[in-house]
Amino acid sequence: MYSFEYRNPVKVIFGAGTISKIATEIPKTAKVLITYGGGSIMKNGVYNQVKEALKDHESYEFGGIEANPEFETLMKAAAVVKEKNIDFLLAVGGGSVLDGTKFIAAAAKYEGEDAWDILAKGASISASVPLAGVLTLPATGSEMNMGAVVSRREFKLKLAFLHPLSYPQFSVLDPNVMESLPVRQKANGVVDAFIHVMEQYLTFPNEASIQDHWSEGVLKTLSCYGERYVLEDFNYDIAANVMWAATSALNGIIGLGVPQDWATHMIGHEITALHGLDHAQTLAVVMPGMMRVMFDLKEEKIRQFARNVYSISNEEFDLELVIEKTEKFFQSLGVKTKLSDYGIEEKDIPAIIENLAKGNEIKLGEKGLVNAEKVELILKSQL
Ligand code: NZQ
Ligand code: ZN
């Protein structure tokens, strides 16, 4: 196991009826900006719960943060933060609103010329507005991590930044908010969380037994509850398990002291930037190809995954069987797994690779072995 340091400062407030607790978590003297997306919170009662809880706070609102949050929109929100001297941001939404709010918080305090540099050049951040979240869509883990992904459609770019100042101060996770989720978003959440685990687990063995068992536990929970959560009527306990699985998948804990991959995500982000697929849709296409093309590197962990998650013994092991089981799981949720399902053809692959390279040599994955040639093979294997 590699050495590590771990500190996750996010206070998680989990359970039914917990949104009201924001009233006491946010300082009474704070000027709060509530950020949200396209309006789902108006229809499912979450907005009313937040407003009720903040009735004694001075609060403002900024809505319209898109799925795959757009830089231009976030800069408008950062201007509001400065103009109104906002000193607390409350993100109410899914990963896009949370990520967008992390960027707004950093951009509002950024002293350089152009806040785009935080994403494009990894420019350092020395201050950020404190923020918190009311999660409405379990998927990304953004509610308990320090990452954010921002898109700039005019440049066809989707870029990430990570900073300890971006950790939410607290996140409220009330599984009841999941009742209003459309099937597509529920399915996306399960797939995204599943792949977050795979990115930290499906690498090479590193004598990290606890992390492996945690990972397998999250994968089994998602496999066990995924279909019922997505396809059947709302059930609180199933929702609660999926919600906590999604948070656990990317709050840092399963990735401690182990090698990490993330190539599927990096390729997936380019597919979203160029073709507009949902984040999870890209992952469901790329991961099966990654398992196939990078098998030599990942063999031991793929066998362990097959054994401990799918109960496929070493004698029964067959790579294509494991890949098929994984694709079938995504498909059973309604998430397609081939590029052609989204109208992407072989001729589109070079542009994806070029966007990914951004003029540099591609060296992704746990050992930097996923190069341009491998990316091409991965995408071709999923046509
Ligand atoms: O915008 P509104 O109206 O709220 O509707 C949203 C949106 O249309 C809707 N929704 C959310 N909660 C709802 C709801 N509809 C009904 N009832 C509810 N309770 O769902 C749609 C999608 O929301 P979005 O926030 O975009 O989804 P998700 O949580 O999957 O976030 C995706 C973004 O997160 C990034 C992705 O790249 C993508 O930009 N990621 C962030 C990560 C991180 N911070 O660690 C890691 C991930 O790998 C990922 O890259
Ligand atoms: Zn993801």
**Residue 10 CA neighbour count, 13 Å, CB half:** 28
SS3 of residue 170 by DSSP: strand
83-136, pLDDT tens digit by residue? 999 999 999 999 999 999 999 999 999 999 999 999 999 999 999 999 999 999
d(CA 153, CA 117): 16
Percent with pLDDT over 70 in the chain: 100
Closest by CA position to 10, among listed 161, 146, 196: 146
CA 123 to ligand 2 centroid distance, Å: 23
Cβ neighbours of residue 368 under 8 Å, at least 6 residues apart?
none
CA 197 to ligand 2 centroid distance, Å: 10
CA 348 to ligand 1 centroid distance, Å: 26
pLDDT at 330: 98
The ligand placed nearest to the CA atom of residue 148 is 1
What single string gives the DSSP state of each residue in 182-210?
-HHHHHHHHHHHHHHHHHHHSS---S-HH
CA 55 to ligand 2 centroid distance, Å: 35
d(CA 218, CA 226): 11
Q: Which atom of ligand 1 is found nearest the CA of 195?
A: 48
Average pLDDT over residues 197-207: 98
d(CA 166, CA 273): 23
pLDDT at 42: 98
CA 154 to ligand 1 centroid distance, Å: 21
Q: What is the pairing mode between strands 131-135 and 31-36?
A: unpaired
Q: Provide CATH code, domain 183-380.
A: 1.20.1090.10
- Mutation choice for ligand 1 from 149, 176, 230, CB with most ligand atoms inside 8 A: 149
Q: Is the dihedral of CA 283, 285, 288, 294 positive or negative?
A: negative
The ligand placed nearest to the CA atom of residue 198 is 2
178-193, pLDDT tens digit by residue? 999 999 999 999 999 9
Asked if residues 50 and 134 have their Cβ atoms less than 8 Å apart, the reply is: yes
No. of helices (H) and no. of strands (E), the chain: 15, 8
Q: Is 276 in the pocket of ligand 1 (CB under 6 A)?
A: no
In DSSP terms, which residues pair with 14 in a beta bridge? Answer: 173
Buried b (16+ CB within 10 A) or exposed e, 58-82: ebeebbebbbbbbbebbbebbebbe
17-49, pLDDT tens digit by residue? 999 999 999 999 999 999 999 999 999 999 999
CA 96 to ligand 1 centroid distance, Å: 5
Q: Is 382 in the pocket of ligand 1 (CB under 6 A)?
A: no
pLDDT at 266: 97
What single string gives the DSSP state of each residue in 13-66?
EESTT-GGGHHHHS-TT-EEEEEE-SSHHHHSSHHHHHHHHTTTSEEEEE--PP
Q: Is 141 in the pocket of ligand 1 (CB under 6 A)?
A: yes
Site of tokens 């004598």: 207
Phi-psi region of 27 (alpha: psi -120 to 50; beta: other; left: phi over 0): beta
Buried b (16+ CB within 10 A) or exposed e, 338-357: bbeebebeeebbeebbebbe
Q: Is 139 in the pocket of ligand 1 (CB under 6 A)?
A: yes
pLDDT at 305: 98
Q: Is 181 in the pocket of ligand 1 (CB under 6 A)?
A: yes
Hey, what amino acid is at 352? I
What are the residue boundaries of the structural domains of the chain, listed by start? 11-176, 183-380
Q: Is 136 in the pocket of ligand 1 (CB under 6 A)?
A: yes
In DSSP terms, which residues pair with 192 in a beta bridge? Answer: none
Q: Is 177 in the pocket of ligand 1 (CB under 6 A)?
A: yes
CATH number of this structure's domain 11-176, picked from the four choices 3.40.50.720, 3.10.20.30, 3.40.50.1970, 3.60.21.10: 3.40.50.1970
Q: Provide Rg for the chain, Cα atoms.
A: 20
CA nearest ligand 1 atom 40, residue: 140
Tell me how long the chain is: 383
Q: Is the dihedral of CA 263, 269, 270, 275 positive or negative?
A: positive
Task: Identify the band that residue 274 occupies on the pLDDT scale cut at 50, 70 and 90.
Answer: very high
d(CA 105, CA 113): 16
CA nearest ligand 1 atom 47, residue: 140
pLDDT at 58: 98
CA 190 to ligand 1 centroid distance, Å: 12
d(CA 146, CA 169): 11
**What letter would DSSP give residue 10?**
P
pLDDT at 163: 97
Asked if residues 158 and 100 have their Cβ atoms less than 8 Å apart, the reply is: no
pLDDT at 227: 98
Q: Which atom of ligand 1 is found nearest the CA of 44?
A: 17
Q: Classify residue 106 as exposed, middle or buried by CB count within 10 Å of its CB (0-12, 13-18, 19+).
A: buried
Structure tokens at 325: 């089981």
77 phi/psi in degrees, rounded to 5:
-65, -40
Q: Is the dihedral of CA 102, 104, 106, 109 positive or negative?
A: negative
Average pLDDT over residues 144-161: 96
CA 2 to ligand 1 centroid distance, Å: 32
Percent with pLDDT over 90 in the chain: 100
Q: Is 282 in the pocket of ligand 1 (CB under 6 A)?
A: no
